[in-house]
Amino acid sequence: MENALSILNSYVSTQKSTSYCHDDFNISNIFATEPVTVFDPNPKFNVGYFDLARSMLLGITKDESKENEQWLVGYFGGKPYDESVLHSALLLNCYIKSYDWHRKKKADFIEGVRTYLSKRKGLLA
Protein backbone atom coordinates (compact mmCIF):
# COMPACT_ATOMS: atom_id res chain seq x y z
CA MET A 1 0.00 0.00 0.00
CA GLU A 2 2.85 2.36 0.86
CA ASN A 3 4.44 1.77 -2.55
CA ALA A 4 1.12 2.39 -4.33
CA LEU A 5 0.61 5.68 -2.46
CA SER A 6 4.16 6.76 -3.20
CA ILE A 7 3.75 6.07 -6.93
CA LEU A 8 0.43 7.93 -7.11
CA ASN A 9 1.74 10.89 -5.09
CA SER A 10 4.78 11.17 -7.38
CA TYR A 11 2.54 11.09 -10.45
CA VAL A 12 0.07 13.62 -9.02
CA SER A 13 2.89 16.06 -8.23
CA THR A 14 3.71 16.23 -11.97
CA GLN A 15 0.14 16.92 -13.14
CA LYS A 16 -1.42 20.31 -13.72
CA SER A 17 -4.95 19.12 -14.54
CA THR A 18 -7.61 17.09 -12.78
CA SER A 19 -10.52 14.91 -13.83
CA TYR A 20 -14.07 14.96 -12.55
CA CYS A 21 -15.49 11.78 -11.04
CA HIS A 22 -19.15 11.11 -10.34
CA ASP A 23 -19.16 8.25 -7.85
CA ASP A 24 -22.65 6.92 -8.47
CA PHE A 25 -23.49 8.00 -12.00
CA ASN A 26 -26.81 6.41 -12.98
CA ILE A 27 -30.13 7.23 -14.60
CA SER A 28 -31.55 8.79 -11.43
CA ASN A 29 -28.90 11.54 -11.64
CA ILE A 30 -29.83 12.60 -15.19
CA PHE A 31 -32.59 15.11 -15.86
CA ALA A 32 -34.34 15.42 -19.23
CA THR A 33 -33.60 19.10 -19.76
CA GLU A 34 -32.17 20.90 -22.74
CA PRO A 35 -29.22 20.55 -22.46
CA VAL A 36 -29.17 17.44 -20.27
CA THR A 37 -28.55 18.13 -16.58
CA VAL A 38 -26.55 15.77 -14.36
CA PHE A 39 -27.02 16.29 -10.64
CA ASP A 40 -24.09 15.39 -8.43
CA PRO A 41 -24.27 16.24 -4.73
CA ASN A 42 -20.76 14.92 -4.02
CA PRO A 43 -18.34 15.34 -6.95
CA LYS A 44 -14.71 14.26 -6.73
CA PHE A 45 -11.77 15.81 -8.48
CA ASN A 46 -8.94 13.37 -9.10
CA VAL A 47 -6.28 12.53 -11.61
CA GLY A 48 -7.41 10.54 -14.63
CA TYR A 49 -5.71 7.29 -13.66
CA PHE A 50 -7.65 7.11 -10.40
CA ASP A 51 -10.99 7.63 -12.15
CA LEU A 52 -10.10 5.16 -14.91
CA ALA A 53 -9.19 2.56 -12.29
CA ARG A 54 -12.50 3.16 -10.50
CA SER A 55 -14.38 2.62 -13.76
CA MET A 56 -12.36 -0.52 -14.57
CA LEU A 57 -12.95 -2.17 -11.18
CA LEU A 58 -16.25 -3.85 -12.03
CA GLY A 59 -14.90 -5.32 -15.26
CA ILE A 60 -11.77 -6.50 -13.49
CA THR A 61 -13.81 -8.35 -10.91
CA LYS A 62 -15.32 -10.42 -13.71
CA ASP A 63 -13.38 -13.27 -15.29
CA GLU A 64 -11.02 -11.34 -17.61
CA SER A 65 -13.75 -9.19 -19.08
CA LYS A 66 -12.97 -7.70 -22.49
CA GLU A 67 -14.23 -4.41 -21.07
CA ASN A 68 -10.92 -4.06 -19.24
CA GLU A 69 -8.85 -3.74 -22.39
CA GLN A 70 -11.52 -1.60 -24.06
CA TRP A 71 -11.26 0.90 -21.20
CA LEU A 72 -7.51 1.16 -21.72
CA VAL A 73 -7.73 1.52 -25.49
CA GLY A 74 -10.52 4.08 -25.22
CA TYR A 75 -8.91 6.11 -22.47
CA PHE A 76 -5.36 6.24 -23.81
CA GLY A 77 -6.19 6.06 -27.53
CA GLY A 78 -3.54 3.40 -28.14
CA LYS A 79 -0.79 5.56 -26.64
CA PRO A 80 1.55 4.22 -23.96
CA TYR A 81 0.54 4.62 -20.33
CA ASP A 82 2.20 4.12 -16.97
CA GLU A 83 1.19 0.68 -15.68
CA SER A 84 2.60 1.31 -12.21
CA VAL A 85 0.34 4.38 -11.81
CA LEU A 86 -2.67 2.44 -13.13
CA HIS A 87 -1.96 -0.56 -10.88
CA SER A 88 -1.51 1.73 -7.87
CA ALA A 89 -4.86 3.37 -8.61
CA LEU A 90 -6.51 -0.06 -9.03
CA LEU A 91 -5.12 -1.27 -5.72
CA LEU A 92 -6.28 1.85 -3.87
CA ASN A 93 -9.73 1.72 -5.45
CA CYS A 94 -9.98 -1.93 -4.47
CA TYR A 95 -8.98 -1.01 -0.94
CA ILE A 96 -11.75 1.61 -0.82
CA LYS A 97 -14.36 -0.87 -2.11
CA SER A 98 -13.16 -3.99 -0.26
CA TYR A 99 -15.00 -3.20 2.97
CA ASP A 100 -18.30 -3.06 1.08
CA TRP A 101 -17.44 -6.18 -0.96
CA HIS A 102 -16.56 -8.09 2.20
CA ARG A 103 -19.76 -6.94 3.91
CA LYS A 104 -21.82 -8.10 0.91
CA LYS A 105 -19.92 -11.41 0.75
CA LYS A 106 -18.35 -10.59 -2.62
CA ALA A 107 -14.87 -11.92 -1.89
CA ASP A 108 -14.73 -13.00 -5.54
CA PHE A 109 -14.50 -9.29 -6.48
CA ILE A 110 -11.35 -8.91 -4.38
CA GLU A 111 -9.98 -12.11 -5.89
CA GLY A 112 -10.73 -10.74 -9.38
CA VAL A 113 -8.61 -7.66 -8.74
CA ARG A 114 -5.79 -9.80 -7.29
CA THR A 115 -5.89 -12.07 -10.34
CA TYR A 116 -5.94 -9.12 -12.77
CA LEU A 117 -2.95 -7.44 -11.13
CA SER A 118 -0.96 -10.65 -10.71
CA LYS A 119 -1.15 -11.34 -14.48
CA ARG A 120 0.37 -8.00 -15.41
CA LYS A 121 3.83 -6.51 -15.16
CA GLY A 122 4.34 -3.42 -13.09
CA LEU A 123 3.96 -2.43 -9.50
CA LEU A 124 2.16 -5.44 -8.11
CA ALA A 125 3.01 -8.35 -10.42
* Assigned domain for 91 exists: yes
Alpha helices in the chain (DSSP H): 2-13, 48-60, 66-76, 83-103, 107-118
* Assigned domain for 31 exists: no
Does pLDDT of 89 surpass 70? yes
pLDDT per residue as tens digits for the range 19-62: 777 666 667 778 889 998 877 777 777 788 888 888 888 777 76
pLDDT per residue as tens digits for the range 96-121: 888 988 899 988 888 888 888 787 76
* Assigned domain for 109 exists: yes
- Give, in degrees to the nearest 5, the angle at Cα 66 between 62 and 72: 110
Task: Tell me if the pTM is above 0.95.
Answer: no
Burial class (CB within 10 angstroms; exposed 0-12, middle 13-18, buried 19+) of 100: exposed
* Assigned domain for 95 exists: yes
Does pLDDT of 125 surpass 50? no
As for how many domains the chain has, the answer is: 1
SS3 54: helix
Q: What does the pLDDT average to over 86-100?
A: 89
Identify the domain containing residue 84 by its residue range. 2-15+48-118
